[in-house]
Amino acid sequence: MLKVENFSFSYNSTKGMHPVFKELDITFSNGLNAMLGPNGAGKSTLLKCIFGLLRCNGSAFFGGRDITRMKTNDKTKLMSYLPQMDIEMSSLTVLEMVLLGRLPELGQRVSDEDLKNVMDTLNALNIAGLASRSFSELSGGQKKLVFIAQTLVREPEIILLDEPVNSLDLQKQLELCLLLRHIAEHKDIEIIVVLHDINLAARFADHIIVLDEKGRMYSSGTPHEVISKKMLREVYGVEASLSHDENGIPSISPIRSIRDSSVIA
Ligand SMILES: Nc1ncnc2c1ncn2[C@@H]1O[C@H](COP(=O)(O)OP(=O)(O)OP(=O)(O)O)[C@@H](O)[C@H]1O
């Protein structure tokens, strides 16, 4: 179980220090964690700090080890990370791009096992047919799926995904969430996924963490505990209707923005 303790981070920009979060404590759960929050709340920054792309103050413990003090090599073996922004161009094929995701394990030669893992992952995401295509010629959604495959092609202990469903069509969003559920349930891998779709988070996550616009933890718990009209109003500034299906899974439907300066009522 990943535990973030006392995390503080500020960007040092031309306009001075820009604090994103201060003394943040979060206990993620085993399984599938969804992180929600408005634009600019600090979700991507938090994932980058956990992965070690940004240096922040504080500690992050996993299995008794402080991952903020780990060597980069050990960190990349422990975790894989899908950033929000991806590169657009590459002269590699889809198969080669996904193989890159196994870099921490790759020996001098690509083994049959490496290739099998790549093909299994492409199959799981229903994109095996793209394996020999040039990456640069793919559509935006197809490229996204290739990066997701690159992140999932190994079996690390933690997977961090920043808005993976962006630019995927409805069917692929659903399939990806089902795949993440399957991985979380059967492979003992902790997944932290940043989402903007509250209904997807409600349906698929074991645990939801909500950051508010100031990078503070507003709430955390099961979807049933976290998703409320009050949270939607206070964190997102949105009036919404809320219902629950026969399994108690919440589902929301936004009605209007309650921002003072909102142009459209
Ligand atoms: N490189 C940077 N330099 C300075 N400030 C930054 C930088 N990157 C992000 N920020 C600021 O840090 C804050 C948090 O950004 P972050 O990208 O972590 O938010 P987010 O919750 O992931 O947002 P979104 O949902 O829009 O992706 C924002 O106010 C943003 O403007």
- What CATH number corresponds to the domain at position 8? 3.40.50.300
> Does 229 fall in a domain?
no
Q: Domain of residue 169: give its range.
A: 3-222
> Does 204 fall in a domain?
yes
Alpha-carbon distance of 192 to 205, in angstroms, equals 9
Amino acid identity, position 136: S
pLDDT-flagged residues of the chain (< 50): none
Give the pLDDT confidence score for residue 262 in this predicted structure.
Answer: 53
> Does 56 fall in a domain?
yes
pTM: 0.94
Q: In this structure, which residue's CA is closest to atom 29 in ligand 1?
A: 40
Rounded distance from Cα 59 to ligand 1 centre (Å): 21
> Does 24 fall in a domain?
yes
Residues with CB under 6 A from ligand 1: 11, 13, 18, 20, 37, 39-45, 84
Give the pLDDT confidence score for residue 89 in this predicted structure.
Answer: 79
Give the pLDDT confidence score for residue 58 in this predicted structure.
Answer: 96
Cα(first)–Cα(last) distance of the chain, in Å? 43
Give the pLDDT confidence score for residue 44 in this predicted structure.
Answer: 97
Tell me the C-alpha to C-alpha distance, in Å, between residue 108 and each of 12, 104, 153. Answer: 40, 12, 18
> Does 255 fall in a domain?
no
Task: Give the number of the atom of ligand 1 that is nearest the alpha carbon of residue 38.
Answer: 25
Q: In this structure, which residue's CA is closest to atom 11 in ligand 1?
A: 40
Count how many domains the chain has. 1
Rounded distance from Cα 24 to ligand 1 centre (Å): 16
For this complex, say whether ipTM is above 0.95: yes
Contacts 24+ apart (CB under 8 A), 48-55: 48/83, 49/7, 49/9, 50/2, 50/4, 50/79, 50/160, 50/192, 51/75, 51/79, 51/81, 51/160, 53/81, 54/9
Task: Give the number of the atom of ligand 1 that is nearest the alpha carbon of residue 196.
Answer: 25
Rounded distance from Cα 37 to ligand 1 centre (Å): 12
